[in-house]
Amino acid sequence: MATRKPFIAGNWKMYKTCEEAIHSAKTLVEKVKGVTHADIMIAPPYTALYAVSSVVKESNVGLGGQNLYFEKQGAFTGEISGEMLLSAGCQYVIIGHSERRQFFGDTDLTVNQKINRAIESGLIPVFCIGETESERDANETFSVLDKQVKKGLEGIFLNSSDQLIIAYEPVWAIGTGKTATIDQAQEAHHYIRSLIKTVYNEQMADQVRILYGGSVKPNNIKELMTMSDVDGALVGGASLDAESFSQIVKF
């Protein structure tokens, strides 16, 4: 089995002004200095990306956008392209977060177009999937993941497993304080890995990193990371505070 390097990502969502973002990023860079066991990423709001990029430059903290538009450029008021994220200093971009799917019209099709655009721009997509509470209650978790993975990755050609990161985020666990049990997380991650084998091949399935997201905190990360198919975390609320995020990084 491949050894997959843990990946800990912070999604700051619509929080922090430029000043606050710079301050948090500076504090984080200090706190995680010397950490080599995990890759680290933060995704500040667009307005703070460029400023934060100069703070994290030459540190072990990577930078990500929270979304992009699937066109290269054009008359698309309010949207941001992959090239813009790249030039602002990003290496990563979160795509298909459930809040985008729920409030801003992202569908499996647009998520697929965005993943394609991200890779073409030279960014690594952090591709989010996950079932809602009613889907889980109706025993549809696997069929939802099946559809999201297959449609989201349709026609996406990868040269290497480093070009993609997957985040399993059960919608009912996001921002609710209700974390999936470690067995629920493992079961879903294992299933997603089997889907990657179907879509690509065994090597890709073995090497691609699958993060868990949904109420990850300093006090539950260690346990989650003991599960064999959990390779890291996508952290919302607890990533806003540099101290709690650094504790998660250092699980």
The binding site for ligand PGA (CB under 6 A) comprises 11, 169, 174-175, 213-216, 234-238
- Marked catalytic residue, from 131, 135, 169, 189: 169
What is the number of other CB atoms lying within 10 angstroms of the CB of residue 123? Answer: 23
The tokens for 49 are 């990306």
Q: Exposed, middle or buried: residue 45 (CB in 10 Å: 0-12, 13-18, 19+)?
A: middle
Contact 232, 38 (CB under 8 A): yes
Rank residues 205 and 224 by Cβ distance to ligand PGA and give the closer one. 224
Query: Of 19, 97, 99, 243, which one is the catalytic site residue?
Result: 97
Q: Report in angstroms how near the CB of residue 221 gets to ligand PGA at its nearest.
A: 11
Residue among 121 and 220 whose Cβ is closer to ligand PGA: 220
Distance, in Å, from the CA atom of 21 to the CA atom of 150, rounded to the nearest integer, reads 35
Q: How far is the CB of 82 from ligand PGA (least distance, A)?
A: 20
Instruction: Please say if 135 is a catalytic residue.
Output: no
Q: What is residue 165's three-state secondary structure?
A: strand
Identity of the residue, 32 or 126, whose beta carbon is nearer to ligand PGA in the bound complex: 126
**Least separation in angstroms between CB 235 and ligand PGA:** 5
Judged by beta carbon, residue 208 or residue 238, the one nearer ligand PGA is: 238
Q: Could you give the 3-state DSSP secondary structure of residue 235?
A: strand
The residue among 97 and 200 lying less far from ligand PGA, judged by its C-beta, is: 97
- Position with the least CB separation from ligand PGA: 236
As measured in angstroms, the least distance from the Cβ of 74 to ligand PGA is 29
* Integer Cα distance of 189 and 143 in angstroms: 14
User: Does the active-site annotation cover 23?
Assistant: no
Smallest distance from ligand PGA to CB 215, Å:
4
61's CB contacts (< 8 A; 6+ apart) are 25, 28, 29, 32, 40, 41, 42
Alpha carbons 16 and 37: distance in angstroms, whole number: 28
> Directed axis angle between helix 18-31 and helix 242-249, to 10°?
40
Hey, which residues are catalytic here?
Answer: 97, 169
